[in-house]
Amino acid sequence: MDVKLTIQEKLKDLRLEKKLTLEELAAATGLSHSALGSYELDYKDISHNAISTLAQFYGVSADYILGLTENRNHSYTELNELHLNDQMVSLLKEGKINTRLLCELATHEDFPKLLADIEIYVDRIASMQIDTLNATVDVARQEILNKYQPAEDDIYLKTLAAAHVEEDEYFSHRIHKDIDGIIRDLRENHKTDPSTAPETTVAEDIRKELEAAAKFSGSDQERQARIFCSQLGINYDNLYPEEFAALVNILKKSKFLKSPLSKRGKTGTKKRKR
């Protein structure tokens, strides 16, 4: 998912990227510590002078800080400078692909190597060399067959057979290795991204819920209700009696529960911790 940062988040991220405290940023820019702190909480009171000062200090455009563009620089780059064809421009404008991920892929340090390997294969740049190599191997193999008439399992014949290069297989492996390394790096970089799913799996969550339910000292029916609440992110211990009663009435309609839920353990008018 392409996540857009708020102005406050951008200001804080820019400061943290330079590994500066608010005090250090204030000393470097001449803006007050209290003002800089307030900008990262509520940008509404930020002055034009502060925007200009921070943009210049961070080396980004004022439009980027104000959220008018997601590009830190090059906000007004001419389209013809990007060397994109009409189909690519349309694809990017439609917003049907994750452009953020596309940019991270293209700016990875190993992307030029990936693109070079793809270009070599697609444009058949190495085809002649590979054909020449294979022809040389085939000639050597035929000479051995004619001169020595070795058995089919002869080690030298097998070595020459192994030296024969299949172009499709070779470049498939090479390109696969390139892209694997890049996406592993991107995956690692996305660990702290707000759009990234947590590392715990659904199965792990269910296991923890069942373990917690097994240690719960209530009835079987209350244990089932506790699991149901956990799966929905509801704190069972904070349910009021009337809320629990409503939950019981709903769960009674489930065809998966073997016995109706009781209201035992949820009487009274106050919340009760377990």
211 band by pLDDT with thresholds 50, 70 and 90: confident
**pLDDT mean across residues, the chain:** 83
For 30, the token pair is 């001449």
Residues in contact with 99: Cβ distance below 8 Å, sequence separation at least 6, in sequence order: 2, 92
Q: In CATH, what number does 7-65 get?
A: 1.10.260.40
In the prediction, which pLDDT does 178 show?
Answer: 95
pLDDT digits (tens, 9 = 90+) for 23-36: 999 999 999 999 99
CA dihedral sign, ordered 36, 38, 42, 44: negative
**What is the rounded average pLDDT of the residues 170-174?**
93
**What is the rounded average pLDDT of the residues 204-222?**
69
Separation between Cα atoms, residue 266 and residue 58, nearest integer Å: 58
In the prediction, which pLDDT does 264 show?
Answer: 46
For 91, the token pair is 């694809």
Higher pLDDT, 79 or 269: 79
- Give CA 69 to chain center in angstroms: 22
**What is the rounded average pLDDT of the residues 7-25?**
91
In the prediction, which pLDDT does 53 show?
Answer: 94
In the prediction, which pLDDT does 272 show?
Answer: 43
In the prediction, which pLDDT does 261 show?
Answer: 47
In the prediction, which pLDDT does 260 show?
Answer: 47
In the prediction, which pLDDT does 112 show?
Answer: 96
Higher pLDDT, 74 or 160: 160
Q: What are the extents of the domains in the chain? A: 7-65, 116-189, 198-274
**What three-state secondary structure class fits 28?**
helix
Residue 258 CA: distances (Å) to CA of 165, 247, 263: 64, 16, 16
**What is the rounded average pLDDT of the residues 61-84?**
84
